[in-house]
Amino acid sequence: MSDELPAPPPIAREVFTGDAWARAEAYAQLLAGPGVVRGLLGPREVPRIWDRHLLNCAVIAEAIPDKPGHLEASSGDGITASTPVRVVDIGSGAGLPGLVLAIVRPDITVTLLEPLLRRTVFLEECAAALGLDNVEVLRGRAEELKGKRVFDVATARAVAPLGRLLTWSMPLLREGGELIAMKGERAAEELAESDAELRAAGAQSAELISVGHGKVEPPATLVRVVAGRQSPPGGGGRRRRRR
């Protein structure tokens, strides 16, 4: 298992720099070993851990803003330009992309949101083993956080169709916050099919972007959706379509 793990490609040292390099290597071993044994990663994925998983997730960091200062903040919530960008990784699974983002972006905080106990246990063990003090692991579903937590960015990889993902993520984002969804070859098709959900969610904008040029092949395709103003719990404002 862990002995099947290939050597990292040269480009990995350019993507994972400083302390991130040792953490990326350790995380690769955790995925290839305990991750496979406990069913969080398929054995056939081990030879592709670096290019398909670690590098492909790391380049998403290019789409994460450096500061939340440009995002709208409601008065009294304590958010300033010096506050770290707060990311929620919905359906984090084995930590892809959430743990990888925490490794390459120590300046942000990452909440790994995952409903299954065996996965949250693995995520907690990984965060501790890698010394990631910018990671929080929460067991639960996105719907359960509505009205309780707010984030600047939501990420997701292979979790659900975009339309459903919008209903989960938009209520967790502040106005101007962004959903960054890894969607691959069907990105354009899913975006076109989600027009009704985008309107219902009050999204400001939605677009396709690609990241990782010169680092991963092909570059990673993302859907970026900017959230509109959220109605306060029990208050007025734009009515939402019931789920």
43 occurs within a structural domain: yes
Dihedral sign for Cα atoms in the order 151, 157, 160, 162: positive
Q: Is the pLDDT of residue 232 over 70?
A: no
Pick from 56-70, 73-87, 199-213 the range whose average pLDDT is largest. Answer: 199-213
Binding region for S-adenosyl-L-methionine:
91, 96, 142-143, 157
56 occurs within a structural domain: yes
Q: Mark residue 209 as left, alpha or beta (left: phi above 0; alpha: psi -120 to 50; beta: remaining).
A: beta
Convert the pLDDT of each residue in 1-51 to its tens digit: 445 899 999 999 999 999 999 999 999 999 999 999 999 999 999 999 999
Task: Please give the residue range of the domain that contains residue 143.
Answer: 2-67+81-226
Convert the pLDDT of each residue in 83-112 to its tens digit: 899 999 999 999 999 999 999 999 999 999
Binding region:
91, 96, 142-143, 157
Q: For the domain that residue 195 is a member of, what is the CATH number?
A: 3.40.50.150
Q: Between β-strands 135-139 and 109-114, what pairing exists: parallel, antiparallel or unpaired?
A: parallel
pLDDT of 50 reads: 97
Q: Report the distance separating Cα 97 and Cα 100, nearest Å.
A: 5
Q: What is the pTM of this model?
A: 0.88
